[in-house]
A and B are shown apart, each in its own frame.
Chain A
Amino acid sequence: MRLVWIRAAIVGAVVLTTVAFLLAFFVAAPAPFGEVRIPAAQVSGAQLGPNQPVGVEGDNMVFLRWDMGQKIFYFHVPVAEASFLVFLFAAVYGGLFLAKRDRKWDTRSRIAMEVTLFFVLLTMVTGVIWTKWAWGVWWQWEPRLTTYFIMTLLVVAYFVLRNSVEDEERRATYAAVFAIVAFIDAPISFLITRVLPSTHPVVFKSGGLDGWQLATFIIAQLGMLLFGFAVYELRLHEERLGERLEVLKNSLGG
């Protein structure tokens, strides 16, 4: 892909994610969690502002509490879904390498796994931040967190495997096989922890999203996907340049 289009994709991704960020904090309705009661005598007209009371109970006025931590949802879920999608591409490219034995598929599979690793790390970081905010602990062996941690281990294992094999064709074959097996394993992990009885309740506020919330989410998702695509193409471009450099060096006898 021509460099100008890659640059356009990067700019588009940055624009989309920035727009999503601004929408998330200024436009999308925050999700409430619970209510707080303040004695009416303490509430002055000047304090009300954007947070209007929703009711009156005796002497108290009832306000909704806003969960600002929910905002991270607009970035955490898009990166998680992007990581899965790129993982799929990596597995498919691996399969194509096994079928056609053309080195370019192995290169594409490796680059796709690098992008997957990038998104997986982003997901883990945003997830840990959200866990701390929502539940007060940095980590919880909750189904989604556990299986995502397993996926992180699988992606890291892919690179450990690649580094352990010297012969190029063997490395590509083993990596492709492992990418396929790992991709089959990842959804199974998700389903299994959903179904097995666990001691922790799954607390996730995933109700419906209203107008602006949905728009923010979609824009963020598109931005992250475009970002992943742009990074992948950029890396591919870099690999091609590297190969051309090698050919030139060899032809010059160096």
Chain B
Amino acid sequence: MAGPSDRVDEAAVRAAEAADAASPSGREHVEPYEAAALAAHSPVAASPNSWRQFKAILRKDVSMELRTREMITSMGLYALLTMVVYAVALNAAGEGFDILPIAGGLLWAAFTFMSLLGLNRSLVHEQDQGCLEALLLSPVDRPIIFFAKASGNFIFVSSVELLALPFFYFFFLQGKGFGLNPLLIIPVLVVGTVGIAGVGTLLATISVNTRGKDFLLAVLFIPLMFPLLASVVSATSAVIMGGDGSMTQLWQGLALAAGYDGIMLVAAFGLYEFVIGA
């Protein structure tokens, strides 16, 4: 029997289709939590289709970020400011100081700190606007939320990393040759950022609900990140310095980081359900 529910369904279908078809600028009128709820409830995806849910949540995060550009600018500026501090610190070392051996480490230190900032913010937004409750109320599988948020974080952090790399080169590596092909740094970035995003999303979901917030995220994140950091710094140093055995060192670092990513992502995926329901 036709009634209000049918009309709501039709409206939902139209809204979902509009959301699907519209360009980013045209979706101004769809609130972030509505997009998630619509994708889950609309008859177009009557049985909860994991891929649609994932896309909806990811699209919500990315569109919000594109609209405000808040996280990327703050993370980018933070990375830049860290490099300014490096410049001050290294100034004392004098002109002849060879920065190549420590350049990989400096780079990943900047990326680690900026990731802490970004990860924290990505979940603070959820809490502020009540989006997390809305997500939990809709019939979305908890692991989908994890993958969608982790993918969003991966996109943001890697974008800022790619933007920050030229600045790092400009500030510190000019005139010094790269050891290996500089493009080899891309796989290292990818593997490192996957680990940062995966474990970081789990820990940020924990820390955003506590008194400590960003401080607690740092306390939890940095010791857990240590194996990943050690491997990617080793791999990045191999790319920057080159020399004998650097390809082996690069592959070894990549393999170890990938192994860490695999193990920790499985663990985070399995445990996320408990964390987000708490």
Contacts and interface: CB of A to CB of B under 8 A. Distances in A.
A154 B259 CA distance: 20
Contacts of A185: 223-224, 226-227, 264
A219 B253 CA distance: 40
B230 A192 contact: yes
Given A160-B216, A177-B206, A192 B275 contact: no
Contacts of B222: 153
Interface string B192-205: 00000001001000
Interface in A157-213: 157, 160-161, 164-166, 169-170, 173-174, 176-178, 180-182, 184-185, 188-189, 191-193, 195-197
Where chain A touches its partner, the secondary structure class is helix
Contacts of A170: 209, 278
B220 interface: yes
A176 B271 CA distance: 10
A98 interface: yes
Nearest to A199: B101
A180 B278 CA distance: 16
A191 B263 CA distance: 13
B151 interface: no
Nearest to B211: A164
A165 B274 CA distance: 15
Contact of B278 (A174, A181, A192): A174
Given A160-B216, A164-B211, A188-B263, A173 B275 contact: yes
Interface string B204-229: 00110111100010011011101100
A174 B227 contact: no
A228 to B, nearest CB: 22
A184 B211 contact: no
B246 to A, nearest CB: 11
A173 B271 CA distance: 10
B274 A189 contact: no
Contact of B220 (A98, A161, A197): A161
Contact residues of B: prevailing secondary structure: helix
A189 B271 contact: no
A182 B224 contact: yes
Interface residues of A, number: 33
A157 B220 contact: yes
Contact of B231 (A156, A174, A178, A192): A192
B274 A176 contact: yes
B208 to A, nearest CB: 11
Given A174-B278, A188-B263, A164 B210 contact: yes
B249 interface: yes
A174 B210 CA distance: 10
A150 B209 contact: no
B219 A157 contact: yes
B278 A196 contact: no
A212 to B, nearest CB: 38
Interface in B231-275: 231, 234, 249, 252-253, 256, 259-260, 263-264, 267-268, 271, 274-275
7 contacts: A153-B219, A154-B224, A157-B223, A161-B220, A185-B224, A188-B263, A196-B253
Top-6 shortest CB links A-B: A164-B210, A153-B223, A173-B278, A192-B227, A164-B212, A170-B278
Interface of B: 199, 202, 206-207, 209-212, 216, 219-220, 222-224, 226-227, 230-231, 234, 249, 252-253, 256, 259-260, 263-264, 267-268, 271, 274-275, 278
Given A157-B223, A174-B206, A174-B210, 5 more contacts: A150-B226, A160-B212, A188-B259, A192-B226, A196-B234
